[in-house]
């Protein structure tokens, strides 16, 4: 039982993350009239990033979902080259971008050289992303 409490306390709660984000925004130093605007902006950016800097090297799994479908086991066993599975999305519908299995944005497919990419058209707000963490 104590191990469960210790494991739960090691994972930050969404409220704690919100507070950290709010604190890092509040800690930004006021801009004095003698500072150049670029220097002041750079200083504020550094101060607001300081609170989350330790998270920047955390690897994240990104996936893009074209659509979904449910099939029967007998159909799965019949699959071969050329088999077509109908997905739940229409052609031209936005693709879903997931980070660690959490919906983060929607976008459209693009070609970048010989590779596919996604151009984001709708990004989930930071508040909603934090709420999804819990």
- Residue-level pLDDT at 130: 78
As a whole number of angstroms, the distance between CA 10 and CA 13 comes to: 9
As a whole number of angstroms, the distance between CA 58 and CA 52 comes to: 11
Q: Domain end: 56, 76, 100, which one?
A: 56
Per the structure, the count of domains in the chain is 2
> For residue 29, is pLDDT > 50?
no
As a whole number of angstroms, the distance between CA 44 and CA 132 comes to: 27
Do the Cβ atoms of 123 and 96 come closer than 8 Å? no
For residues 81-100, give the mean pLDDT: 91
CATH for 68: 2.30.330.10
> For residue 58, is pLDDT > 50?
yes
For residues 35-44, give the mean pLDDT: 55
For residues 31-58, give the mean pLDDT: 62
As a whole number of angstroms, the distance between CA 125 and CA 43 comes to: 25
Looking at the structure, do residues 7 and 50 belong to the same domain, yes or no?
yes
> For residue 30, is pLDDT > 60?
no
> For residue 27, is pLDDT > 90?
no
Domain range for 19? 1-56
**Percentage of the chain with pLDDT > 70?**
62
């Amino acid at each position: 039982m104590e191990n469960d409490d210790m494991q739960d306390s090691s994972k930050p709660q969404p409220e704690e993350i919100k507070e950290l984000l709010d604190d890092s925004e509040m800690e930004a130093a006021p801009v004095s009239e003698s500072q150049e605007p670029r220097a002041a902006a750079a200083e504020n950016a550094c101060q607001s990033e300081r609170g989350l800097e330790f998270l920047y090297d955390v690897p994240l799994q990104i996936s893009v979902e074209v659509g979904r479908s449910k099939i029967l086991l007998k159909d799965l066993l019949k699959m071969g080259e050329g088999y077509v599975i109908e997905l739940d999305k229409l052609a031209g519908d936005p693709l879903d971008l997931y980070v660690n299995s959490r919906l983060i944005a929607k976008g459209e497919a693009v070609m970048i050289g010989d590779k596919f990419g996604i151009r984001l058209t709708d990004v989930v707000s930071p508040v909603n992303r934090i709420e999804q963490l819990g």
